[in-house]
Amino acid sequence: MATQSTILEKATSWDNICFPIVEEKLQDLLPGSYKLLPSDRQRAIVGYMPDGTQHVFALQSDEYTLIPNDFLRSVVDSVATDYKIDARYTSRGDFGINIILPDSLKVGNERIYKNLIINNSYTGKSPFNIQGSSIESTNEDKVRISYYRQICANGLMGWADEFMSYEEYFNWLANGQPKKYLDALKEKVEHVNIERIKKEEKILAETFHHKGLNLEFFKEHLTKILKNFTAQNSSVTGAIYNKLVQVALPTDADVQQVILESGLPKKLASMAVERLRVEEQELQTDANLWLLYNAANYALFNGKSALTINERFKADQKAFHNIAQMAL
């Protein structure tokens, strides 16, 4: 069955995405004449919407742990007071939440703002993650740094902060983007902590799917992640962005083909080309790899598509790496 295409809704306040959400026994929601057959999914995730309706987002088993957006708001508020929120969400209960801090970075002639992105879902189909990583694999001490770009009102999903240096990131690209870090560091293995890298490879393979979660432990872990994120200053990703600004897009380049090769569906690739031309005029500059990546990012999070929020994030990450590879 085909998935319905959708345009992501936008919210600049927690209130728009923090409606009451509860777990109900499915049997209690049905008329008395209905009897459920044995099944492991007899708990309904019910949202009480602002318009007075109730939405059943999913049926789950006893192992499922609901993470309400209001719970996330309480954790963020306990760590940061000076921030803005910009969320993307669907009516089906998927959320991408940008937590925008005042700290900023200059990229070319623009200023972009430090940003933490939290993905949450009431369907159970998309994993909860922070900056694109599962909660278990997120390093409490060194969290990826994302940035928010005001001109397109989007959080940028392209990251390189899991690499130890700017040079190692481009070495990884030059080696064909291998999945394992050790393969990316062929010429510099003697200078790295191999045991730490092996541990990172293991935890990066894990995925968190809302099962059997202790919310008190989760809250403590999430709070540490947020505190360390607010304290971080340096970012390999920011250095990559400044490199992309310096690399002009060849005048004879087939821009749409480049974006298609970066992994975007055809309709979103067309939208990205249009956005690139708009920003060339607005910023009065020729196209460069920075604008190309942002055009892809804009299309992914503003275009109509059957991609889930989580799939859009993955597509954005792929586009970022493929476009950065053009700077080699």
pLDDT by residue (tens digit) across 143-199? 788 899 988 777 776 777 666 688 888 888 888 887 755 554 444 444 445 455 455
pTM (global) more than 0.75: yes
What interhelical angle do 215-231 and 69-79 show, nearest 10? 40
Q: How is residue 122 written in tokens?
A: 């009431």
Q: How many other CB atoms sit within 10 Å of the CB of residue 285?
A: 15
128-132 CB contacts, 8 Å cutoff, 24+ apart: 128/67, 128/208, 128/210, 129/208, 129/310, 130/222, 130/225, 131/159, 132/157, 132/159, 132/313, 132/314, 132/317
Contacts of 14 (CB under 8 A, 6+ apart): 69, 70, 73, 85
The DSSP 8-state label assigned to residue 7 in this structure reads P
Alpha helix (H) residue ranges in 139-288: 166-174, 181-184, 194-204, 215-231, 236-245, 255-261, 266-283
Burial string for 180-212 (b: 16+ CB within 10 Å, else e) reads ebeebbeeeeeeeeeeebeebeeebeeebbbee
The tens digit of pLDDT for each residue in 267-291 reads: 999 999 999 999 999 888 899 999 9
pLDDT at 211: 63
CA distance 180 to 59: 36
